[in-house]
Amino acid sequence: MNKFDCILFDLDGTLIDTTPLILESFRHTFFHHFNIVKQDDELYQYLGIPLKRPFEALYPDKVDILMNTYREYNVLKHDECVSIFLGVPQLLKECRCKGIKLGVVTSKKRELAMRGMELFGLFSYMDVFIGYEDTTIHKPEGEPVLKAMKELGIGNGSKVLYVGDSPYDILCARNAGVKSAAVTGWSYVPRKDLLSCTPDYCILTPVELLSYI
């Protein structure tokens, strides 16, 4: 018997490696508009949260134009800068063989998130997909995960696991009343930041997750 009936995944930084693309998109945006060169350690804090939030905090009067510049660059460079993490296809295949329902819950807008999933054939494994537009309340609140559960007809979160690479993912899982797994082995977010949110599981490789389900 499986420990979990449903496993939901964040997308960027969890299933596919978009971090180099995200960092370059932010770097390009700040340089283009303000002639500021941002280093990676200054940009990591923006991973795993809705795109609008850092721009709102830094330049509230320029949010729309900054987001447009970011997205234009992100779309232009997307396919050449994105890769799938080693072990993810094997993990998803084995979960499907076990009869576990799978889904993606991301803060990313649907169009570009779906492009990344299509690039690596991920839709064939998924029973549900929740993007930014699908909820009005976002991570770290639990609504995105609860929305996925509702679409799958799951009312009780005791056998649901949400896997992610950022503190926002861990908090989202907790707020939705489901278990959480932090991908400490391949997240760009510092391990201490993930552990500070006390995830239920910490995994070093995608395949390691199989030992917990």
User: What CATH number corresponds to the domain at position 55?
Assistant: 1.10.150
pTM comes to 0.91
Provide the 10 A C-beta neighbour count for residue 70: 20
Please indicate whether residue 10 is annotated as part of the active site.
Answer: yes
Taking residues 126-151, what's their average pLDDT?
A: 97
**Span 13-35, pLDDT tens digits:** 999 999 999 999 999 999 999 99
Provide mean pLDDT across the span 61-80: 96
Q: What is the pLDDT of residue 11?
A: 97
Residue 198 in this model has a pLDDT that exceeds 80: yes
Among the listed residues 10, 12, 17, 165, the single catalytic one is 10
Residue 144 lies in a domain: yes
List all residues 6 or more positions away from 160 whose beta carbon is below 8 Å from its beta carbon. 4, 5, 6, 7, 8, 145, 149, 154, 176, 178, 179
CATH number at residue 113: 3.40.50.1000
- The pLDDT of residue 189 is 87
pLDDT class of 127 with cuts at 50, 70, 90: very high
Q: Where in the sequence is the domain holding 159, given as residue range(s)? A: 6-17+83-212
Same domain, 55 and 97: no
Choose one of 32, 50, 81: the last residue of a domain. Answer: 81
Q: Does residue 16 sit in helix, strand or coil? A: strand
